[in-house]
Each structure stands twice: as structure tokens, then as C-alpha cells.
């Protein structure tokens, strides 16, 4: 069995791993590169393998950095099957048309062709075969693949590949338990090889109560200042978790009454998908729902779907809260709000997720005092805050704890550390070598390994 790292190596984004066994070829994830202009230009390069030769694609979850190039794969000849859990398939069907719309806007603005078109989106969606957890999928006489719960976002999966008598795990993105909505990641055992994410491989998270307190403080402060609280948020999982926490704060009278806007058509649609797949929630969330709690709804919440409704937010005087995508301020409606309010010293921007290097969000978080939005220079006078407790990624300690279970019988020959900045990946690799005595490697982009 052979594995090649065509994306996600020394990079948080662009996850794309080719697994070959005899004549069988599959890929795990086909994500979009995000962040710097150089990273985004990688999306336009041809795949380093022939998509027409692939039997199957397995998608760990519905975030763009894990599935955003799927239509391009179809465009370049892929006609095999795409396997993902039912919620993942449902959310991708919602997200890909939205991605295409944003991509067309960017293409017009930057004067370059879009990465793919509507036919490619329609085509790839016809190839999806939704799956349940724990049901083995036979790809060939010698290869079986099974999906396990990763606890990262709704329907996220750890991918188990068994071929040539060897067992290989792809963590995808592992969750950060305890999560408010989802069960913790499955503990798995006795792999020969593991491909492990490392987005937070060099740090530890704040606890859950701290994150709610930080959100509460930001709302109270912006209320006193009569400013705007901007929260750039991912449409999948992060927005739903924030809604869950806001619901609790409102119901317990912990925050003042002020308008709260979800200004993201995609996040609104994804929230509807979450309601469809409540069977995937954890027991705490299910008990609240059974007790009649509308966990994603509360007084003062306004969902803005149309561009006209979005623009009308500007006419609402502060204090107010605006939650919008994209989570790293690389596109979407949040840019319009940042353009409007970043130069207001009474306003606050609260980052609730990972900010990839060179993204606008990362540059604001790192303290840049002037940024460019839609070609206009904007001074950053708003207060900049962040909270890591909303991360849906396992931190260094949780990653090590999960791998310790996998290696309980000392079966792991090597762990490949991926999906992190180079510093985070190297830090986790050293930590796992020192603490668990496991051979680790941080693959270079395009590097291949024979799994003996």
C-alpha cells in the first residue's frame, strides 16, 4: 500500500491524500487551498494523478478545505463514487453551489476564470453515496473502508482503510470534546499507520465555560459602547455552536437585549441541515430538544437571507451583533461589515476559529493597523479579540490522548502529521515521539511513502 500527500502537507488547508493498493486507487478528501494568494493559486494546478483512474473518494467532512475541489475533480475526469456520511453529503450539496457563487464573484473581481462551473457541481453531486458510521464499504477484493465518528462537525468521519493486511486511519479533523452538540470522537485501536491532523498541535485550548464568558463579555462591552460586535464564523458547526451558547445566555438573562444577526445564507441553510440530522447530536443536546428547547433560536435573533436584508443591517443603530462568513474573512458578507465597522473604536471583532496564515482574519488578529477590503484601505480601530475555546479541533493533549488509545498494543509503526502550519505539525510530531515513543514524520507536499 502506498500513500501520497498531495494536499494538507505542511498546510492547514487543501487536504488531499492518494492511497494505492494494487490496481485500486482512492483519495481521502479533496479540499480547497485557502489563505495566501500562492495557496489559492495551487487550486488551479492540475491534480498530480489522473482523476479518471480513481475508484472512489472519501470525504471526512463538509468544510471547504476538505471538499472544495470536488467539482474540479469531476471536471478533470473523475466518475467514480463519493462516500461520506449522510449529514456530510447533505451539507456539501448545500455548500458547493454557495462556493460556486462566491468563486464566480471573485473570478469577475480578479479577472480570472472560475475553478469549475455549475455542470461540475451538478455532476459531482450525482456521484455521492451517503453512508452510515461503522458499515464497511468494499472497494475491491483487497480494500475495505469504514467511517467512524470524528466529533469535529456534524457527520465528520475518521476514515479506516484496510488493505494488504494493514490498517490505516485518517483522522480528518478530530473534535474538541466535550462539544455542546456532538459526541466525542470514537476511540479506535490497533492501527498500523495513522495520518493525523495538527491544526492545534502546538497548543492547548481554553475550557468551554471560559469561551462562553468571553462571548458574554464581548456582548456586554459592545452594548455599553453602542458599537457593533462582528463575529466572522464558519457556516458549519461554529455558527451552530455560537447559536447554542447565545440561546443559553439569553434564556438565563446573562446578556442584555440587543439585535443579533446571522448574516449568512449558507449558515442559515446549514442550520436547517443540522435540524434534519439531530440523531447525530449528543445526549445533552437531544435532552434539551426533547424538553422543548429551540436550541438554535431565541428572541432578538434575526436571519438575513437576501442582499437587501444584509444591507439593511447597516441602518440598525448599535449596539448589535453580526455573525457572518467567512470564518477567516477571506470572502462572504463579513467583509462588508468589516469595511463598515473596523474603523469604529466602539466596535469589537471577535475571532472564534482558526485563522490561516496570510488570511485577512489572521492579519487583523496579528495586529495589522490597516487592511485592504474591496480595494479600499481600512484602518483597524475596532478592538480585536479571539477565543480558542470554540475550536472544533483537538488540541495537542487531546490528539496525543486519542493516539495513545490507537497505540495501546504498540501496533502503530508511524504517524504522519498533516493539516497544520509547519510549526504546529513539527511541535506535535516531537511531542508524540517524546511522550508516546511513536515514529512520526511531517510529510512534504507531494511526498509518497510505501506502507510496509
Sign for the CA dihedral angle at 254, 341, 347, 225 comes to negative
Residue 36 has pLDDT above 80, yes or no: no
What is the mean pLDDT of the segment spanning 98-121? 89
Alpha carbon 219 to its chain centroid, in Å, reads: 25
d(CA 384, CA 381): 9
d(CA 183, CA 199): 20
Residue 449 has pLDDT above 80, yes or no: yes
Provide the percentage of residues in the chain whose pLDDT is more than 90.
90
Q: What is the value of pTM for the model shown? A: 0.91
Q: Give the pLDDT score at 107.
A: 81
**32 upstream amide cis, omega within 30 of 0:** no
What is the mean pLDDT of the segment spanning 309-325? 97
Q: Give the pLDDT score at 314.
A: 94
Confidence grade of residue 209 (pLDDT, cut at 50, 70, 90): confident
Task: Check if 2-203+392-450 and 208-386 are the same fold.
Answer: no
Q: Give the pLDDT score at 52.
A: 98
Q: Give the pLDDT score at 354.
A: 85
Q: Give the pLDDT score at 111.
A: 82
Q: Give the pLDDT score at 69.
A: 98
> Are 333 and 344 a contacting pair, CB within 8 Å?
no
Length of the chain in residues, anyone?
Answer: 452
Residue 31 has pLDDT above 90, yes or no: yes
**Hey, what CATH class is 2-203+392-450 in?**
alpha beta
Confidence grade of residue 266 (pLDDT, cut at 50, 70, 90): very high
Residue 38 has pLDDT above 90, yes or no: no
Return the domain boundaries, the chain: 2-203+392-450, 208-386
32 Cβ contact partners less than 8 Å away, ≥ 6 residues apart: 13, 14, 43, 64, 65, 68, 69, 99
> How does the average pLDDT of the chain come out, rounded?
95
Confidence grade of residue 120 (pLDDT, cut at 50, 70, 90): very high
pLDDT single digits (tens) 268-309: 999 999 999 999 999 999 999 999 999 999 999 999 999 999
Confidence grade of residue 416 (pLDDT, cut at 50, 70, 90): very high
Residue 356 has pLDDT above 90, yes or no: no
**209 upstream amide cis, omega within 30 of 0:** no
Residue 37 has pLDDT above 90, yes or no: no
Q: Give the pLDDT score at 105.
A: 82
What is the mean pLDDT of the segment spanning 258-269? 97
Smallest CA-to-CA distance from 99 within 50, 43, 38 is with: 43
Confidence grade of residue 109 (pLDDT, cut at 50, 70, 90): confident
Q: Return the bridge partners of 418, or none.
A: 197
Q: Give the pLDDT score at 141.
A: 94
pLDDT single digits (tens) 368-383: 999 999 999 999 999 9
What is the mean pLDDT of the segment spanning 58-64? 97
Q: Give the pLDDT score at 103.
A: 86
Provide the percentage of residues in the chain whose pLDDT is more than 70.
100
137: which 3 cell numbers?
464499504
Sign for the CA dihedral angle at 397, 399, 401, 404 comes to negative
Architecture per CATH, 208-386: 3-Layer(aba) Sandwich (3.40)
d(CA 439, CA 377): 48
Q: Give the pLDDT score at 41.
A: 87
Neighbours of 4 (CB within 10 A): 18
290 Cβ contact partners less than 8 Å away, ≥ 6 residues apart: none
What is the mean pLDDT of the segment spanning 382-397? 92
Q: Give the pLDDT score at 86.
A: 98
d(CA 6, CA 32): 12
Can you tell me which residue has the cell 498530480?
A: 48
Residue 351 has pLDDT above 90, yes or no: yes
Q: Give the pLDDT score at 104.
A: 87
Amino acid at each position: 500500500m502506498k500513500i501520497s500527500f498531495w494536499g494538507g502537507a505542511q498546510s492547514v488547508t487543501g487536504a488531499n491524500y492518494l492511497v494505492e493498493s494494487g490496481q485500486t486507487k482512492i483519495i481521502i478528501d479533496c479540499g480547497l487551498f485557502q489563505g495566501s494568494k500562492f495557496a489559492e493559486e495551487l487550486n488551479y494546478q492540475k491534480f498530480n494523478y489522473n482523476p479518471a483512474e480513481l475508484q472512489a473518494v472519501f470525504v471526512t467532512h463538509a468544510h471547504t478545505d476538505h471538499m472544495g475541489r470536488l467539482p474540479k475533480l469531476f471536471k478533470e475526469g473523475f466518475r467514480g463514487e463519493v462516500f461520506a456520511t449522510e449529514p456530510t453529503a447533505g451539507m456539501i450539496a448545500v455548500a458547493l453551489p454557495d462556493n460556486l457563487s462566491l468563486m464566480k464573484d471573485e473570478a469577475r473581481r480578479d479577472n480570472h476564470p472560475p475553478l469549475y462551473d455549475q455542470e461540475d457541481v451538478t455532476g459531482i453531486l450525482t456521484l455521492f453515496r451517503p453512508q452510515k458510521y461503522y458499515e464497511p464499504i468494499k472497494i475491491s477484493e483487497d480494500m475495505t473502508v469504514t467511517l467512524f465518528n470524528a466529533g469535529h462537525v456534524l457527520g465528520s468521519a475518521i476514515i479506516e482503510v484496510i488493505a494488504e493486511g494493514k490498517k490505516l486511519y485518517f483522522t480528518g479533523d478530530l473534535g474538541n470534546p466535550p462539544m455542546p452538540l456532538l459526541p466525542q470522537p470514537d476511540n479506535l485501536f490497533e492501527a498500523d499507520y495513522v495520518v493525523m491532523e495538527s491544526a492545534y498541535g502546538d497548543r492547548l485550548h481554553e475550557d468551554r465555560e471560559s469561551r462562553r464568558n468571553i462571548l458574554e463579555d464581548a456582548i456586554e462591552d459592545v452594548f455599553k459602547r453602542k458599537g457593533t460586535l462582528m463575529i466572522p464564523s464558519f457556516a458549519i458547526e461554529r455558527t451552530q455552536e455560537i447559536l447554542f451558547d447565545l440561546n443559553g445566555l439569553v434564556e438565563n438573562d446573562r446578556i442584555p437585549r440587543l439585535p443579533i444577526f446571522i448574516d449568512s445564507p449558507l449558515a442559515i441553510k446549514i442550520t436547517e441541515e443540522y435540524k434534519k440530522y439531530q440523531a447525530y447530536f449528543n445526549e445533552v443536546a437531544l435532552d434539551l430538544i426533547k424538553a422543548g428547547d429551540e436550541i438554535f433560536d431565541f428572541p432578538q435573533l434575526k436571519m438575513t437571507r437576501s442582499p437587501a436584508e444584509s444591507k439593511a443591517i447597516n441602518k440598525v443603530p448599535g449596539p448589535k451583533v453580526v455573525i457572518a462568513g467567512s470564518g477567516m474573512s477571506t470572502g462572504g458578507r463579513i467583509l462588508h461589515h468589516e469595511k463598515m465597522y473596523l474603523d469604529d473604536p466602539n466596535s469589537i471583532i471577535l475571532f472564534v476559529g482558526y485563522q490561516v496564515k496570510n488570511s485577512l482574519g489572521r492579519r487583523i488578529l496579528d495586529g495589522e493597523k490597516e487592511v485592504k477590503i474591496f480595494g479600499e484601505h481600512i484602518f483597524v480601530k475596532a478592538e480585536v479579540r479571539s477565543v480558542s475555546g470554540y475550536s472544533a479541533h483537538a488540541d495537542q493533549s487531546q490528539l496525543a490522548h486519542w493516539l495513545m488509545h490507537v497505540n495501546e498494543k504498540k501496533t502503530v509503526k508511524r504517524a504522519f502529521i498533516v493539516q497544520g502550519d509547519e510549526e504546529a505539525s513539527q511541535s506535535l510530531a516531537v511531542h508524540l515521539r517524546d511522550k508516546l515513543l511513536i515514529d512520526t514524520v511531517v510529510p512534504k507536499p507531494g511526498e509518497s511513502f510505501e506502507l510496509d
